[in-house]
Amino acid sequence: MAPSGSRSIKRGCQRVLYWIPVLFIALIVAWSYYAYVLQLCIESIEDTGEKVVYLLAYHVIFIMFVWAYWQTIFTRPMNPLKEFHLSHSDKELLEREDRGESQQEILRRIAKDLPIYTRTNSGAIRFCDRCQLLKPDRCHHCSVCDKCILKMDHHCPWVNNCVGFSNYKFFMLFLAYSLLYCLFITATDLQYFIKFWLNGLPDTQAKFHILFLFFSASMFSVSLASLFIYHCWLVCKNRSTLEAVRAPVFRHGTDKNGFSLGFSKNFRQVFGDEVKYWPVPVFSSSGDGCSFPTCLVNLDPEQPSSPSGSNPTNKTAAEGRQFPSKPLRESQSRLLSSTPSWSESDGAADKDKKGASNPGMTIENEA
């Protein structure tokens, strides 16, 4: 009884400590609001037109920044669906078997009915012992949250949350609007920062807020710019931070570009198809987080049909399965609708080429 009570107290203390970085950011933002609105715009700027323009633009950026930050913090990460969890009978069967190939055979049998294409470095099925489930593609177990997170990018202490499929768009908008927020403050505060050094400001407490506001905004701009550029690169390549560090492993081997569909489709996979929702912190990402279209030439023959669902035979077989009845949303299905499957087009081209170059061999095989 005592050990469980001490563990619960320890977990409670950890939860409180995890909110310290978020509290630090909230205090910095609250002070910046006071310094910019009250000390700079109201107290220091004398021109009414300039004051109104600065305040209007500032509040638009401030609202979008806080909205995106809020969504990143309080949007719960999505976990794998129940179809990826082992049933009670499968758990008992797995526990009875020795660790090794026999367990992998059980996992491979279960994985045949699921849209799973990635493997471990050794080629085994990705299985989470903590959550007792088969990991969907791009899913990883977070040691801080103690859960498997769909399309996990990283656990961010500044938002006290896992950044993954459900809130990656919000995280990108948070970086974008926070960078814009800092750049706007730096640009509009610059002339008054120069006046401070030339003794052109009245000797009030406002000048010290103006000084530190410029320094803090410019320093945050540098760090945010580097982080935002890096994640823009990841979006263009359709990679997560974890996949950039360690490329995903497919049946045919490691492929760092296995999920890349081209810049436009990669971008729409995160931000969605409707342009009007791109700058707004509302969920519009494509797909369900459990299955993703790939650009692989060598598809896994042991797995269900490709997410594009172009093969009618495989489609009929998939309809008989409980999962996935609709593996991709309509918006994600359109990601591959404009381009034919590489394996089908290459296979057809090779077949035509062989038939044209060696008709005798074709007749012999048909006979």
Find out whether 137 and 150 touch, Cβ atoms under 8 Å.
no
Find out whether 149 and 77 touch, Cβ atoms under 8 Å.
yes
Taking only the tens of pLDDT, the chain with its 367 residues reads: 445 667 778 877 888 999 999 999 999 999 999 999 999 999 888 899 999 999 999 999 999 999 999 999 999 999 999 999 999 999 988 888 876 788 899 999 999 989 999 999 999 999 999 999 999 999 999 999 999 999 999 999 999 999 999 999 999 999 999 999 999 999 999 988 888 778 766 677 888 898 999 999 999 999 999 999 999 999 999 999 999 999 999 988 999 999 999 999 999 999 999 999 999 999 999 999 999 998 864 444 455 544 433 333 333 333 333 344 334 444 444 444 444 333 334 444 444 444 444 433 332 333 3
In a domain, 361, yes or no: no
Instruction: Give the single-character DSSP code of 307.
Output: T
Whether 46 and 195 map to the same domain: the answer is yes
Helix ranges restricted to H, the chain: 2-18, 20-33, 48-74, 88-96, 101-111, 168-197, 206-237, 241-245, 263-271, 312-319, 330-337, 342-357, 359-366
Whether 103 and 247 map to the same domain: the answer is no
Whether 60 and 187 map to the same domain: the answer is yes
145 is catalytic: no
Whether 18 and 62 map to the same domain: the answer is yes
Instruction: Give the single-character DSSP code of 367.
Output: -
Whether 94 and 235 map to the same domain: the answer is no
Amino acid at site 317 = A
For position 258, what pLDDT does the model report?
A: 93
Whether 97 and 38 map to the same domain: the answer is no
For position 4, what pLDDT does the model report?
A: 62
For position 97, what pLDDT does the model report?
A: 81
Whether 196 and 261 map to the same domain: the answer is yes
Residue-by-residue DSSP string for 3-41? HHHHHHHHHHHHHHHHTHHHHHHHHHHHHHHIIIIIIII
In a domain, 30, yes or no: yes
Whether 178 and 147 map to the same domain: the answer is no
For position 44, what pLDDT does the model report?
A: 87
Range of the domain at 66: 14-78+164-277
Which of the residues 156, 162, 182, 290 is marked catalytic?
Answer: 156
Give the 3-state DSSP-derived string for 132-150, with helices as H, strands as E and coil as C: CEECCCCCEEECCCCEEEC
Domain count across the chain? 2
Whether 41 and 170 map to the same domain: the answer is yes
The pTM assigned to this predicted structure is 0.80
